[in-house]
Chains A and B, each alone.
Chain A
Amino acid sequence: MRIQRSVIASAALLAVALAGPAAAWEPTKSVEFIIPAGTGGGADQMARFTQGVVAKHNLMKQSVVPINKSGGAGAEGFLDVKASKGDNHKIIITLSNLFTTPLATGVPFNWKDLTPVAMLALDNFVLWVPADTPFMSPKDYLEAVKKAGPNKFKMGGTGSKQEDQIITVAIEKAYGTKFIYVPFKGGGEVATQLVGKHVDSTVNNPIEAVAHWRSGKLRALCVFDGNRMPYKDKVTATMAWNDIPTCKEGGIPMEYTMLRGIFMPSGVSPDVVTFYVDLFKKVRGTAEWTKLMQDGAFNQTFMSGKEYVDWVARAENIHRELMRDAGFLAVKK
């Protein structure tokens, strides 16, 4: 089977070589889709979703095979792609750990070791509290936190020195108070801990908390994006995503969204990158994708090429500054 496949592959390569550069590049074997996070999380869902959509609509002749490499806060996946220089059949989906993991742990990789392909979407963060607390606005809540004094209110979040804790520290700076930050393994667990009132607030992504919001267990105080989320269909009995104010409106001068983007190993030709950019444009064009974006209240910004590279470079600087302010940078040995 394998021999047969490689014969076909080399025949295909030969055909491409004979046809010359005019023919568009296409994958000649199945494409590995690396997920630098565990099964069931946001990045994992998006990658498996992509696999399903590609198969269902026949967007590519070869199949996509998602592989989880979650070790070391995602470092395992990034190091794998870094080491696969010139591999045309490997792509990786990123979350903020693209920036935070090397900065916090000193593991040797950087987005510049990879080839940026495209931004699929930006994931939002919402400040949540249990619905039966008296806090109706971010101001109510944070004033109460401030009044109670440092280390009284508990903020739950995913992982340590990653996006949730970065946001927490930024809130603390803005309000001159201190939470007890309690790290958990995954976003779903964080949301459940909030419903069970083992923590006082969280900054869950919309898709992680929406079920509890709809059942009336949680209240959304504000969203950490620059603008309100655009989705106007009612999600709960009275609220749409669009009804949630931005945290800026609520007096927290903090903006944060998380990259859901695609990268490749370095040393691949522009034809190959173009193929994947087009592929993801097609994926984004499906009805299933639109529904996923709506359910998860994603910010649907799409970027590729230089625009995307500039965005990533800017995001890295923002993360470095936020993490330096918070004292999260790895000590250089």
Chain B
Amino acid sequence: MEEINALFHGFTVALTPFNLMLMFVGIILGVIIGVLPGLGGANGVAILLPLTFSMPPTSAIIMLSCIYWGALFGGAITSILFNIPGEPWSVATTFDGYPMAQQGRAGEALTGAFTSSFVGALVAVLMFTFLAPLIANFALQFGPPEFFAVYLLTFCSFVGTGKGNPFKIVASMMLGFAMAAVGIDIVTGQLRLTFGFTELLSGFHFLVAVIGLFGIGEILLSMEEGLSFSGHGARINPTIVLQTWAKLPRYWATSIRSCLIGCWMGIIPGGATPASFMSYGVARQMSREGAKFGTGQLEGVVAPETAAHAAGTSALLPMITLGIPGSPTAAVLLGGLMIWGLQPGPLLFVEQKDFVWGLIASMYLGNIAGLIVVLTMVPLFAAILRVPFPIIAPVIVVICAIGAYTVKNNMLDVWMMVVFGVVGYAFRKLDYPLAPMVLALVLGDSAESSFRQSMLIAQGDLRVFFSNWLVGSLTGLALVALFWPLLSAGITRLRAALAAGPG
């Protein structure tokens, strides 16, 4: 196997003491970046990029990609502990992770999140190693109709399987779409819904909304419930990691599904955020305990984390082979490649073997290093919840405010975050789900532009969404997912009728 030889050569490149040191530095920086909401992997890598210009390119990309792994790991920490997603792809982790923390199972949730992140990444790297050239061409098949079908599938798999009042779900989602539409419209180049305020030009940033809706909303809710932080029951338990590991193999089916969803979304490139939502939705539908999702199921943490990390890792593949970044962080790394004089594209694998295989080897090693670093910190993180609420709450509010400000260096965002906090509180009091709104806010813009691009290309003919096997099957799957509750009810009734029939 040529790949194996190349990979071992890659390990010899990556395993120098200098590169190993950079790996750990990168992971630790990345975790910190992931923990601070608003800073984000893309910003973190962008800030540190210039530091690497004096290093050899291989060392530089090892360090930067380790920051990226660290941020992927770190995003889960605040989601689980405080219901504040540090990164967009950890929003779905809050759905079950935070309830677990409230029940005093933060250590279990964190271990589950980190371990499944690692599994997702490992599967993606294996695919990277052996199937890279094959898969690279698959991404080229995705034009606007295919992209729209993927977004449609994400929405449908999340909504069709959701529980609660469908009208409330739709209302919440529509509000998200409306907010996503604020700002410049890519298809016409005109401003929409800004009402003449230049402050609204850039629209609502997703992270500001999420920090407000989840973080501040949660604090308001806790305050109402009498200044107690229900997670303080967390005990420091050094064996929690092993105990959780014993439980994880039970979720092998969810893991495999999530890996597949993640790898696929990373390649096309749909990104880690839709992957995590889609994976959570599918797991909720397929799991035997699906009805209990949202109340603190370990499986509900495993699904989004596995998919997010698999997608985040495989997002580097289209970047290297085609020069299209699968995520904002990959976009900054891409800029780095060019500065080091490396040209991303189909020839990189041929012309820069050391670099490519060094990077792939560092993906294996970086993720192992990352897992060790974060797992040793689990008891420490869980212990944060023992701090009394009156002390931790102001700290969280300050972190949220800094996070919201960091997104665009804009004070207005901090006020917007407060408003979103009140909205989040009201939503929960009135029993409206937040997730559909967040999902629509994240993907609304991309879904809309790919739909309108398709309509331009097809000159308004909706049949474009069934014009070839790829887009046709995606659209078909989306419709099945949307009407799944009706279908499964129908199937159950049919089965009952058949069973009753002969007798």
A112 on interface, CB distance cutoff 8 Å: no
Q: In the assembly, what is the distance between CA of A199 and CA of B458, in Å? A: 11
B246: min CB distance to chain A, Å: 42
* Stretch of A18-26, A70-78, A306-314 lying at the B interface: A70-78
B486: min CB distance to chain A, Å: 34
B328 on interface, CB distance cutoff 8 Å: yes
Q: How many residues of A contact B (CB 8 A)?
A: 60
Q: CB within 8 Å of B: which of A158-211?
A: 159-162, 165, 180-185, 188-189, 191-193, 195-196, 198-199, 207, 210-211
Residue of A nearest to B201 (CB): A72
* Stretch of A38-46, A137-145, A260-268 lying at the B interface: A38-46
> Which one of B140, B142, B186, B335 has the greatest number of beta carbons of chain A within 10 Å?
B335
Known: A49-B339, A211-B323. A180 touches B456 (CB 8 A): yes
Which residues of chain B are within 8 angstroms of A295 by Cβ–Cβ distance? 338, 341, 343
Q: In the assembly, what is the distance between CA of A91 and CA of B345, in Å? A: 32
* Stretch of A8-16, A103-111, A225-233, A277-285 lying at the B interface: A103-111
B344 on interface, CB distance cutoff 8 Å: yes
B140 with A105: CB separation less than 8 A: no
A106: min CB distance to chain B, Å: 8
Known: A160-B189, A182-B457, A196-B141. A56 touches B54 (CB 8 A): yes
Interface size class of B (residues with CB under 8 A): 35 or more
B323 with A328: CB separation less than 8 A: no
A70 with B202: CB separation less than 8 A: yes
B341 with A291: CB separation less than 8 A: yes
Q: In the assembly, what is the distance between CA of A192 and CA of B335, in Å? A: 17
A284: min CB distance to chain B, Å: 16
A85 on interface, CB distance cutoff 8 Å: no
Which residues of chain A are within 8 angstroms of B328 by Cβ–Cβ distance? 39-40
A212 on interface, CB distance cutoff 8 Å: yes
Q: CB within 8 Å of A: which of B91-116?
A: none
Q: In the assembly, what is the distance between CA of A288 and CA of B185, in Å? A: 37
A48 on interface, CB distance cutoff 8 Å: yes
A95: min CB distance to chain B, Å: 15
A79 on interface, CB distance cutoff 8 Å: yes
A184: min CB distance to chain B, Å: 7
A48 with B201: CB separation less than 8 A: no
B132 on interface, CB distance cutoff 8 Å: no
Q: In the assembly, what is the distance between CA of A45 and CA of B331, in Å? A: 10
B343 with A211: CB separation less than 8 A: yes
Q: CB within 8 Å of A: which of B171-204?
A: 183-191, 198, 201-203
B143 on interface, CB distance cutoff 8 Å: yes
Q: In the assembly, what is the distance between CA of A328 and CA of B187, in Å? A: 13
A interface with B by C-beta (< 8 Å): 38-40, 44-45, 48-49, 51-53, 55-56, 66-67, 69-73, 75-76, 79, 104-105, 107-108, 151, 154, 159-162, 165, 180-185, 188-189, 191-193, 195-196, 198-199, 207, 210-212, 214-215, 217, 288, 291-292, 295, 328
**15 A-B pairs, CB-CB below 8 angstroms?**
A39-B42, A39-B328, A49-B339, A71-B183, A104-B189, A105-B189, A151-B459, A154-B457, A159-B189, A188-B323, A196-B142, A198-B143, A199-B457, A215-B347, A295-B338
